[in-house]
Structure 1
């Protein structure tokens, strides 16, 4: 237990009683996300968090006068707590914890809250204060309940702290709760993925519940007008051209800031974006994803440590699954959208997917992927309407620079997809530049490219087919320079809009059975990849449409 900090926050004792896995994710791995309950909780605490009152040393007699937000600790107990309120009366102190909601019908508070309050009482005793009971104030009902610090509760609290330290010292988190009613309201349910994890490990039968939080209302902001400047004013992101504000978005409505070409961003906006975990992404004028600025990296060190080990020694099984998913999704897209018979290509892709699942080296996997790409892109033009051919003739994949409009669209959409998966990889705790299939190379987000493999057909290539066939891009949407083809600004905006619509499209998850947007699928798959690297599930299962 040498790596466990000497002082455990009393709030973490609460979390441990509620769910040991929640405690481990939040305290040991420092992973946290807000939900409506946590935001409301902070609002309820807004007054006590300001501090105030008086609380001197216990030797001063009766020094307490409604002290608020008091930090107390005990090295002997190994506990530290920030007490909401400490009241003094007749030489005694009474800790008061503020809670949202109402008290339960069966007692003064729920078990996690009782243990947390008892821990605070024990810390006060260790500091010389006379403290034999505490209270809860419930904001919704505006009532107080009293808890006596009897021997039974004290013993339960101390035993809980001992068990907490044992769990904290372990290399791996405890398994998720099974079919627990606690999970849907937990703020970390989208990180923990309890039912999905239990499904892969065989701890539950049947289809997982849909416990992932709904998609955030925030959406990416794209700015491509050359010479534009972005700043922040009154918590709104403002886009200015020639010192005039041409658009304004609330910061809470922005999930990413994407800048193309010669666009400037202020330091103040960068600071605000970092505080809100909003990545800022830069693209070249031609649409190449060039880089990303983010706040501090995830504190989930164990995941990055395992990632390094897997990338060095055991990346092949993961790479196989990713390429199998890519080939099978390519085959599905071709079968659904081809306007001509493509039986030969479909049969070949099926055969290559089966071979990819059995290869024993990355070199062999590269060869199979190359053969599948040639077969697939050899039939790609059959998915385009006849009246769109000519402008959108497609004879095969080319790049750097793309030499025709279809390849231009493919390259741009791949860049958007990799940008999103780079941001997802950062948020999950990965190093996005260390992959299991794509080799590390200067400036290349290899893991994001790995994750992109299974999504290229069903997101990027699907958008190309629909955008061309629906007339969302036309011949005048492209410019040719030195043999290379690039998107004009109006066409680029149309393609971005089509891409964002695709991410918002709901699809039934083939493994878990619930409906989910592609935007959320990207995160779920990245988190399941993390679970496989951490050994929480036996293998990574790619997302494959049926």
Structure 2
């Protein structure tokens, strides 16, 4: 089993990162704040104005440690990495299958819808009698609708456009009742639907931030097994878009991201004070809120669960790698189909 390496997130404005021997050192105003051995580091993610020494950048590139640069609110800016490795025959198989993507796209979408339904079902059970009768009815209808859509996806032969249409219908159904899963009556956390560019409310801000983190992990996973993260199956290819990373993320985000967002809000680990509203109405996590989410994200990645296909127990943080590995095996012809990760 692959080792789950650390991802270091640096959010303090003005911090400096440098190499000391075979260690990453973090300093703020000349004071040592942290030290991590490079051999235990898988990625480095920095927010805003943070100094990276040339020696550290060279060491990260040579050790295969990806550096991701985000702005202060978590929007992607750049990615720095060493030489790209990969099996040319695997990538040729990937490119060829991207011309006939229906079956792989079907598996990804099926996993996403089943996991969305699992989130609603689990949350409805956890809420118990606290849900109002009309809310319980709406939630039950959404669960049944997602089950119906999953069956349609499984048997649909109308092509990729039809599958994408079913994905859109499933997303509308899922996020149409997502707000019912948020406890409490704080108007700051009212949720009326998924909106992202830019997020107009705290719930969308948390979801967008978590999706950014998950996309990075899925891109790293694809590259680690030799796949091209820019060439996907469900998502259309566009310049600069990591389509395969977005594909891998789809089946994982209901469980790894959406459930974490609900937990942080319902347990009041996040409050309205953890968000900032910019001119124009865009809402983003503030510094304290971002640290809260990052800490919870790292802890969630350590939680273990049995993989339904491999029948092995693995931490959540390794699931993107395992799915990328299964996809590579399918493209090589070792597996008849790509098995999505289903949360049970």
TM-score scaled by length of structure 1: 0.59
Match of 2:110 in 1: 324
Is residue 224 from structure 1 mapped to residue 21 from structure 2 by the alignment?
Answer: no
| Structure 1 residue 450, shift from structure 2 partner | 0.2
**Contact 2:86–2:225 (CA under 8 A) maintained in structure 1:** no
Match of 1:337 among 112, 123, 145: 123
C-alpha deviations, 1:484-515, integer Å up to 9, x for none? 00111111011011111111111121223322
Match of 1:264 among 20, 34, 51: 51
**Contact 2:86–2:227 (CA under 8 A) maintained in structure 1:** no
Write out aligned runs for 1:466-485 (5 A): 466-482=263-279, 483-485=281-283
- SS of residue in 2 equivalent to 1:454: helix
Match of 1:51 in 2: none
**Contact 2:105–2:234 (CA under 8 A) maintained in structure 1:** yes
Is residue 304 from structure 1 mapped to residue 101 from structure 2 by the alignment?
Answer: no
| Structure 1 residue 476, shift from structure 2 partner | 0.3
- SS of residue in 2 equivalent to 1:379: helix
- SS of residue in 1 equivalent to 2:239: coil
| Structure 1 residue 394, shift from structure 2 partner | 0.4
**Contact 2:184–2:266 (CA under 8 A) maintained in structure 1:** no
Match of 2:333 in 1: 535
Match of 1:84 in 2: none
| Moved beyond 4 Å, runs of 4+ | none
Write out aligned runs for 1:241-256 (5 A): 241-256=28-43
- SS of residue in 1 equivalent to 2:25: strand
Q: Distance in 2 between matches of 1:238 and 1:490?
A: 22
C-alpha deviations, 1:110-143, integer Å up to 9, x for none? xxxxxxxxxxxxxxxxxxxxxxxxxxxxxxxxxx
Q: Distance in 2 between matches of 1:528 and 1:301?
A: 17
Q: Distance in 2 between matches of 1:326 and 1:290?
A: 28
Deviates more, 1:504-513 or 1:341-350: 504-513
Is residue 488 from structure 1 mapped to residue 275 from structure 2 by the alignment?
Answer: no
Report the structure, 1 or 2, having the larger helix content. Answer: 2
Q: Distance in 2 between matches of 1:486 and 1:328?
A: 29
Q: Distance in 1 between matches of 2:313 and 2:31?
A: 43
Write out aligned runs for 1:417-432 (5 A): 417-432=214-229
Is residue 379 from structure 1 mapped to residue 166 from structure 2 by the alignment?
Answer: no
The higher radius of gyration belongs to 1
Match of 1:357 in 2: 154
- SS of residue in 1 equivalent to 2:209: helix
Identify unmatched segments of 5+ residues in structure 1.
1-211
Is residue 455 from structure 1 mapped to residue 241 from structure 2 by the alignment?
Answer: no
Higher RCO (Cα < 8 Å, 6 or more apart): 2
Write out aligned runs for 1:48-197 (5 A): none
Match of 1:369 in 2: 167
**Contact 1:289–1:416 (CA under 8 A) maintained in structure 2:** no
C-alpha deviations, 1:261-280, integer Å up to 9, x for none? 12221221112112221111
Would you say how many aligned residue pairs link Structure 1 and Structure 2?
331
| Structure 1 residue 349, shift from structure 2 partner | 0.2
| Structure 1 residue 240, shift from structure 2 partner | 2.6
Q: Distance in 2 between matches of 1:385 and 1:371?
A: 25
Is residue 291 from structure 1 mapped to residue 78 from structure 2 by the alignment?
Answer: yes
| Structure 1 residue 227, shift from structure 2 partner | 2.1
C-alpha deviations, 1:76-95, integer Å up to 9, x for none? xxxxxxxxxxxxxxxxxxxx
| Structure 1 residue 353, shift from structure 2 partner | 0.9
Q: Distance in 2 between matches of 1:275 and 1:290?
A: 22
**Contact 2:304–2:313 (CA under 8 A) maintained in structure 1:** yes
